[in-house]
Amino acid sequence: MSIPTGTRLLQDPRFNKGTAFTTAERHALGLRGLVPPGILDIQAQQARMLATLQRQANDLERYVHLISLQDRNETLFYRLVIDHIEQMMPLIYTPTVGQACQRHGHIYRRSRGLYISLQDLGHVRECIANWHNDDVRVIVVTDGERILGLGDLGVGGMGIPIGKLSLYTACAGVHPQACLPVTIDVGTDNAELLADPFYLGLRQKRERGPDYDRLIEEFIAAVQERWPGCLVQFEDFANQNAFRLLDRWRGRICCFNDDIQGTASVTLAGLLSALRVTGGTLADQRILFLGAGEAGIGTGDLVTASLMAEGMSEAEARTRCWFVDSQGLIVQGRERLTEHKKHYAHAHPPVKELLSAVQTLRPTALVGVSGQARSFTQPILAEMARINPRPIVFALSNPTSKAECTAAEAYAATGGRAVFASGSPFAPVEFGDHVLSPGQCNNAYIFPGIGLGVVASRARRVDDEMFIIAARTLARQVAQSDLDCGRIFPALSRIRQVSREIAIAIAAHAFDRGLAGIDRPADLGALIDAEVYDPSYRPLVAQAAAAR
C-alpha cells in the first residue's frame, strides 16, 4: 500500500498522525511547514481530545467531534475509543447515535460509506465500484425505516451502520478498512424530515413495491460480485422487511440481522447469567415479552432453539415464551397475527393489559422490547417482585428515552431484588447501604465477536447455532464479582477479550460444520489474533521507502 505525502497524507485518515509525526517523518514525507513544530505522542493527543470533549455542551456535540476525529485520524480515534470504551461507547453509539441520526442533515460534515438510492436502480454496480477498497469483509446496511426506537429516519439512519462498524473495530478488532457502512434510500414517511430544508435523502414517500425488492436484489448481487463471501449485516429494517429479507438471504449469502439475531443472542446470554442469581434452569422459566417485533420474536426463537438443543420439543419450548403487543396478549384465536407471532399464540383467554398478563401468567422474567417508554410501571414491577424472590427485569428498548423503566425504578419497585439489565446504559444506583451497577444488554457484546470469527474463518454462512454459541460464551465471561454488584454482563472494559472468546468459538463452529472457507489451523486463537487491528502509530518512513 503506497503512503501518500504532503497535504494528501494529512487528509488520509488511514495514515494521518496529526501532530504525532516525528521529525524524520516530517522531512521524508513532505510535511515540513504543514504541521505545527511541536510533537505530541498518541497519549498526549488522547488527553487533548478528552479535554476537548469535556468542554462540549452536550453529547451530540461530543459525537460530532469524535466523528470528525474518525474522519481525519483513524488510528487516534480507535485508540481513544478502545482505551476509554465505557466513556466513548455511549457517545459513538446508543444513546447519542439516535440524536445524530435525527440531526443527520444538520451535522453532516463528510461522506462516509455508500448511499444507494432508488435513483441508482440499474446502476448499483457502479456505486459499488466507486468504493475505494477492494477487500471489504463486513457490510452493515440499513434502509433507515426503524432506527432504534425512533422510527423512520430515512437517509439519516446512516449513523447506525457507521456506529455499528466502529464497534466491530473497537470491540473486536475487525480492521476498519475491511468495513463498509451502507444506507439504502427508498424515501421516508417521516413528514418532519420531508419538510426539513436540510434533509439529505430522497424527498418522496417510502417505496414499498417491486422497486424496493429490485434495489435490494441489485445491491446484494453487486456486493457478491465485487466482494464474494462478504458478511452482510441487516440493521434497523422495519418488521415487514427484516424477517422477509433474512428469510430470503440467510441460506444464500453470509448474512444475519442484528435486530433479530444479535439482540436475541445477547438477551439469551443475559437470561443465562441471571439464572446464576435466581437459580433454576432456562427450562424452568416463563418469559413474558412486551413487544413482538424483531427483537422479541428473535429472542423467543433463540430461547426455543436453545431449549430444543437441550432435548425439549419445539412445541413445549415455545410455551416458555409469551408475548404482549399493542393489542394485548398474543393467544390462539386472535385475528390478523403475522406468521412469526402465530408461533407464540398459546391457548389462553384474551388479556388486554400488561399488568393483567403479569398477574395471570406469573412470569419469572419480564423483557421489554417495545420502544414504549416507562411501560414497566411501578405496579407491574411490584407484581413481578411479589411473585418472584428475584424477578428478572430487562428494559431493552433504545435509546434511553425509550426504555421501559430505569434501573432506579426497577430497584425501587422491587426492594432492590430485581435482576436488571437495559439496552442503553444507566448509572449505578445507591440502594440502602450498597450500590447496584446495572448491566447493559448491548448487542456490542455479540456481533463484533461473531463478525471477527466469520471473517477469520472465511465462513460461507452464518447459521442459527452461532448465536446460541455466542450467548453461552458471553454468559461464561460474567464473573462472580460482576454478579455481586448487580451486573449480569462483563464490564465493558473487557469487551475485546470477550469478543476474542466469542470469535474463537464461532470459528471453531464454522470449521466443525464445514462452513469455513480455509483449512483449519492448529491454533484457533492465533488465527483470530492475526486478524485483530491494533490502533497504534507505526513508522511511516520505512513503509514509504519499501513501497517505492
> pLDDT by residue (tens digit) across 6-59?
999 999 999 999 999 999 999 999 999 999 999 999 999 999 999 999 999 999
Intra-chain end-to-end CA distance of the chain, in Å: 10
What the chain holds in terms of domains, given with CATH numbers, is: 6-90 (1.20.1370.30), 91-253 (3.40.50.10380), 261-444 (3.40.50.720)
Phi, psi of 395 (to 5 degrees): -105, 90
- Quick one: residue 374, left, alpha or beta (phi over 0 = left, psi -120 to 50 = alpha)? left
pLDDT of residue 546: 53
pLDDT of residue 545: 52
The SS3 assignment for 501 reads helix
Cell of 347: 391457548
The SS3 assignment for 485 reads coil
Whether the bond between 95 and the residue before it is cis, its omega within 30 degrees of 0, is: yes
On whether the CB atoms of residues 153 and 187 are closer than 8 A, the answer is: no
On whether the CB atoms of residues 233 and 164 are closer than 8 A, the answer is: yes
pLDDT of residue 15: 96
pLDDT of residue 291: 97
Phi, psi of 349 (to 5 degrees): -60, 150
* Count of other CB atoms within 10 angstroms of residue 142: 27
Low-confidence residues in the chain, pLDDT < 50: 547
Whether the bond between 389 and the residue before it is cis, its omega within 30 degrees of 0, is: no
- Strands across the sheet with 114-117, in order? 114-117, 179-185, 138-142, 231-234, 255-257
Report DSSP letters for 243-289, one per residue. HHHHHHHTTTSSEEEIIIIIHHHHHHHHHHHHHHHH-S-GGG--EEE
Phi, psi of 327 (to 5 degrees): -100, 0
Tell me which residues are annotated as active site.
93, 164
* Count of other CB atoms within 10 angstroms of residue 432: 9
pLDDT of residue 100: 97
User: Cα separation of 164 and 169, whole Å?
Assistant: 9
pLDDT of residue 405: 98
Environment class of residue 201 by beta-carbon count within 10 Å: exposed (0-12), middle (13-18) or buried (19+)?
Answer: buried
| Distant-in-sequence contacts of 275-280, Cβ < 8 A, 24+ apart | 276/478, 276/483, 277/390, 277/419, 277/483, 277/488, 278/364, 278/388, 278/389, 278/390, 278/392, 278/419, 280/364
Please list, in sequence order, all residues whose beta carbon lies within 8 angstroms of the beta carbon of residue 530, skipping any fewer than 6 positions away: 456
Distance of CA 385 to the CA centre of its chain: 31
pLDDT of residue 149: 87
Q: Say whether pTM exceeds 0.85.
A: yes
| Residue carrying C-alpha cell 456506529 | 163
On whether the CB atoms of residues 397 and 367 are closer than 8 A, the answer is: no
pLDDT of residue 2: 84
